[in-house]
Copies of this chain bind each other. A is one copy, B any other.
Amino acid sequence: MTTSHDVDALVDQVRQQVSDLHAELVRYQLVIWTGGNVSGRVRLGGDPAEDLFVIKPSGVSYDDLTPGSMILCTLDGAVVPGSAGSERSPSSDTAAHAYVYRNMPEVGGVVHTHSTYACAWAARGEAIPCVLTGMADEFGGEVPVGPFAVIGDDSIGRGIVETLRGHRSRAVLMANHGPFTIGKDARDAVKAAVMVEDVARSVHIARQLGEPVPIPQDKVDSLFDRYQNVYGQAPQGTMTDPSAS
């Protein structure tokens, strides 16, 4: 059982992580002005539907973000009353993040940006084909396009979940909008946001002067498998999707 003291410490830890990770969006030039947002799930250890998440406030400059200004929400997207930062509005994309957390309990982090090259593929409604081994490693194949959806109800969140559930890719290009990425935690989702812009850019540039050579599917499969299980200092489990098992 998690005590309220434990919960406070957990929330503070996720606040710090989510606040820090916004600096990575700036470093990799994925965002401008106050655009873009990172959130992280606070896993309370009970029913995942009762978890919380921490997200960026709306319309605040990246220079001014601090752990205390991050906003704590329940999985229905409501601000937790009386929590630090609760006098402010959360990101206008909060409902989409909340929908993902409610419907994909394995997801621990969500990121949204308007990064340039990913938006360009999204504006054409075109998936990014897998023509680089680094892309096979990271996304296990193409990066898919999600439906056109506008803010105001659950349609963005639903589009993300319907596209990514059971898919190897942790990134979706929402049509005419931009990329959303998920991960086992907020850092993993930020990595996916960084990598999706990188592959969007490299494959775009490759295509400008001719057709890239496709990678055979069995090679894509073995690259993805190896990367998920061997790369780095400790094995990284692929997010297993309970709804798919």
A interface residues (Cβ-Cβ under 8 A, vs B): 28, 32-35, 57-60, 88-89, 92, 114, 116-117, 119-126, 131-134, 148, 150-152, 175-178, 191, 194-195, 198, 201-213, 215, 219, 222-223, 226, 230-233
Contacts and interface: CB of A to CB of B under 8 A. Distances in A.
Nearest to A174: B133
Contacts of A32: 28, 194-195, 198
Contacts of A116: 198, 201-202, 205
A123 B206 contact: yes
Nearest to A129: B123
23 contacts: A32-B194, A33-B191, A33-B195, A57-B233, A58-B231, A58-B233, A92-B230, A114-B198, A114-B202, A116-B201, A119-B134, A120-B206, A120-B208, A123-B202, A123-B213, A132-B176, A132-B177, A133-B176, A133-B178, A148-B213, A148-B219, A152-B222, A176-B212
A124 B233 contact: no
Nearest to A121: B206
Nearest to A205: B120
B204 A124 contact: no
